[in-house]
Amino acid sequence: MICVEVKASRDYEIRIESGSLKKAGEYIGQVVAGRHAVIVTDSTVKELYLDTVEESLSRASFQTDSFVIPSGEKSKDAAHYIQLLEFLAEKTVTRSDVLVALGGGVVGDLTGFAAATFLRGVHFVQIPTTLLAAVDSSVGGKTAIDLQAGKNLAGCFYQPSLVLCDCETLKSLKPETFSEGMAEVIKYGAIADRKLWEKLRAPIWPQIEEIVARCVEIKRDIVEQDEFDLGVRQYLNFGHTIGHSIEKNSGYEISHGRAVAIGMVLAAKLSVKQGECGEECLGQMREMLERYELPTTTDYSAEQLIGPMKADKKRSGNTVSFILLREIGQCFSRKMTINEMDEAVREILGDEG
Ligand SMILES: NC(=O)c1ccc[n+]([C@@H]2O[C@H](COP(=O)([O-])OP(=O)(O)OC[C@H]3O[C@@H](n4cnc5c(N)ncnc54)[C@H](O)[C@@H]3O)[C@@H](O)[C@H]2O)c1
Ligand SMILES: O=C(O)C(=O)C[C@@H](O)[C@H](O)[C@H](O)COP(=O)(O)O
Ligand SMILES: [Zn+2]
């Protein structure tokens, strides 16, 4: 077992342990006082892992209920959020009880937001079952739902009480869903760790636990410095200003990981245009994403992309902080006015191809 400790507004452990799904009840029992657990999952994960987690919780004397949403980003919305809150009220969940997010980033973000707001805060535990959730969304306490107006526009910072990562669950992922998680892994290498980047050239499965652990350590180190996203945490948003716009433009048909992959190429391209890194950096970014069969180009026009980019949470008044690369393994933040961002996007898309 690898254990990574996080010190934030709530301290907690990330336990990376093969087979730990069967120990969920025992582990959750160690961090919460109540004995009522509501498992939130999606329609795909329910068929694969719900019974195992329910049985484990029952063995540890938990009463369990489950709330199942349809798989996919479209469930991360206000309607499912309200349905979940009504369900928790109907089941008389109390502040000492626990919500268990069993699934990918969609389940985790929605459950976290419900846990933060139901009764003004009940415990929640993340059990990530996608690579993306294991390396990124289960850690750090960003919770959110999408609004009609855009991605992740309602949410709050609310840390889980425990993250339990059983990499065995990643074996049932479709190859394209595994690749979507690799987009965030590639992000960590690009912004913070050249050595991690190099490891991604070797087969991933034999080193999966080590890779997950390194990613969550990088995220932990950043979150411990800036839990509330006012400074260095914004580095974790590399590729996301354009990525979120691509997701929104596609009506959430293009997944987060794929959209972020394209966003990272365009951010790298902007870094080259601004003289901050060499052409080879952009080439390496494209090569690494292609290695994992991730997209590197978009058909959306600058006109289409710019609108949603203005809703970025790194915006303050008329400026947006844009995350650029210095080299693979090092990034920084540059403030741009909305007009400068508009011009930059037109420029980088103008010669796309
Ligand atoms: N809070 C954060 O810090 C943070 C970080 C990154 C991404 N996110 C959010 O995470 C979401 C994307 O997460 P995701 O990529 O996990 O998407 P997802 O939750 O939609 O899962 C992707 C697909 O994989 C299926 N699935 C999950 N586990 C499986 C398993 N073990 N075997 C087979 N199928 C499985 C799901 O049913 C779904 O169809 C986005 O909404 C994004 O905004 C949040
Ligand atoms: O944890 C963070 O901070 C991140 O930015 C991680 C991102 O991968 C993630 O997609 C996050 O949800 C984006 O946040 P947002 O603030 O741009 O909505
Ligand atoms: Zn992301």
Q: Which of 111, 136, 235 to mutate to test the pocket of ligand 2 (most atoms within 8 A of CB)?
A: 136
Same domain as 186, residue 130: no
Tell whether 88 and 231 lie within a shared domain.
no
Q: Supply the residue whose CA is at minimum distance from atom 3 of ligand 1.
A: 137
pLDDT over 90 at 101, yes or no? yes
The helix or strand, by DSSP H or E, that contains position 45, with its residue range, turns out to be: helix 43-45
Considering the domain architecture, whether residues 94 and 195 belong to the same structural domain is answered as no
Q: pLDDT-derived band of residue 188, with 50, 70 and 90 as boundaries?
A: very high
Q: Could you tell me if residue 220 is inside a domain?
A: no
- Say what the pLDDT of residue 95 is: 97
Taking residues 257-285, what's their average pLDDT?
Answer: 97
Give the number of whichever ligand sits closest to the CA of residue 263: 3
Q: How confident is the model at residue 350 (pLDDT cuts 50, 70, 90)?
A: confident
ipTM of the complex: 0.99
Pair 188, 137 in one domain: no
48 touches ligand 1 (CB under 6 Å): yes
* Nearest CA owner, ligand 2 atom 2: 236
89 and 108 share one domain: yes
CATH of the domain at 258: 1.20.1090.10
The Cβ of residue 228 has, within 10 Å, a number of other Cβ atoms equal to: 13
- In this structure, the residue with its CA closest to atom 18 of ligand 2 is 152
| 313 assigned to some structural domain | yes
Task: Say how many domains are in the chain.
Answer: 2
Same domain for 94 and 31?
Answer: yes
My answer on whether 331 and 264 are in the same domain is yes
Residue 210 placed within a domain? no
16 — phi, psi (to 5°)? -105, 105
Quote the tokens at residue 283.
Answer: 């080439």
Lining ligand 2 with CB less than 6 A are: 136, 140, 142, 144, 152, 184, 229, 233, 236-237, 240, 313
Whether 213 maps to a domain, the answer reads: no
- pLDDT tens digits for 283-313? 999 999 999 999 999 999 999 999 999 999 9
The residue type at 185: V
Report the chain's C-alpha Rg in angstroms. 20
Q: Are residues 155 and 182 in the same domain?
A: no
Q: What is the DSSP letter of 227?
A: T
- What DSSP assignment string belongs to 60-128? TT-EEEEEEE-SSGGGSSHHHHHHHHHHHHHTT--TTSEEEEEESHHHHHHHHHHHHHGGG--EEEEEE
Rounded distance from Cα 278 to ligand 1 centre (Å): 33
151 Cα to the center of ligand 1, angstroms = 14
Angle between helical axes of 302-309 and 338-350 (0-180°, round to 10): 150
Tell me: do 246 and 268 sit in the same domain.
Answer: yes
The residue contributing the CA closest to ligand 1 atom 10 is: 105
Mutate to test the pocket of ligand 1, among 256, 258, 264, 292 (most ligand atoms within 8 A of CB): 256
Share of the chain above pLDDT 90, in %: 99
Q: Is residue 58 part of a domain?
A: yes
pLDDT band at 353 (very low <50, low <70, confident <90, very high): very low
- Position 138 in a domain: yes
**Residue 219 in domain:** no
Q: Which residues contact 223 (CB under 8 A, 6 or more apart)?
A: 6, 8, 139, 140, 141, 233
The gap between the terminal CA atoms of the chain, to the nearest Å, is: 45
The count of other CB atoms within 10 Å of the CB of residue 50 is 18
- Mutation choice for ligand 1 from 41, 102, 106, 176, CB with most ligand atoms inside 8 A: 106
Sheet with 315-316, strands from edge to edge, namely: 315-316, 319-327, 330-337
Q: What is the CATH number of the domain that holds 16?
A: 3.40.50.1970
Backbone φ and ψ of 324, nearest 5°: -120, 160
Residues 127 and 184 in one domain: no
Mean pLDDT computed over 189-210: 98
Predicted structure pTM score: 0.98
Tokens 């595994």 correspond to what residue?
178
| Protein residue with its CA nearest to atom 20 in ligand 1 | 72
Residue 157 has a pLDDT of 98
Q: Do 194 and 341 have their domain in common?
A: yes
| Joined tokens for residue 95 | 């502040």
| pLDDT the model gives residue 135 | 98
pLDDT, position 352: 45
CA of 96 to the centre of ligand 1 (A): 27
Ligand nearest to the CA of 180: 1
Q: Which domain holds residue 185?
A: 175-200+225-350
User: Domain end: 156, 172, 188, which one?
Assistant: 172
The single residue listed with the structure tokens 């809150």 is 85
Residues 259, 293 within the same domain: yes
**Does the CB atom of residue 137 touch ligand 1 within 6 A?**
yes
Can you give the pLDDT at residue 77? Answer: 98
Q: Enumerate the known binding-site residues for NAD(+).
A: 71-76, 105-109, 129-130, 142, 151
The bound ligand whose nearest atom lies closest to the alpha carbon of 235 is 2
Tens digits of residue pLDDT in 19-50: 999 999 999 999 999 999 999 999 999 999 99
In a domain, 214, yes or no: no
**Residue 151 — very low, low, confident or very high, per pLDDT cuts 50/70/90?**
very high
Q: On the CB side of 274, how many CA atoms lie within 13 Å of its CA?
A: 23
Which ligand approaches the C-alpha of residue 109 most closely?
1
Q: In the chain, pLDDT over 70 holds for what percent of residues?
A: 99
Does the pLDDT at position 250 exceed 90?
yes
Instruction: Supply the mean pLDDT for the chain.
Output: 97
Ligand 1 site-directed mutation target among 110, 136, 177, most atoms within 8 Å of CB = 177
Sequence ranges of the binding site: 71-76, 105-109, 129-130, 142, 151, 184, 240, 256
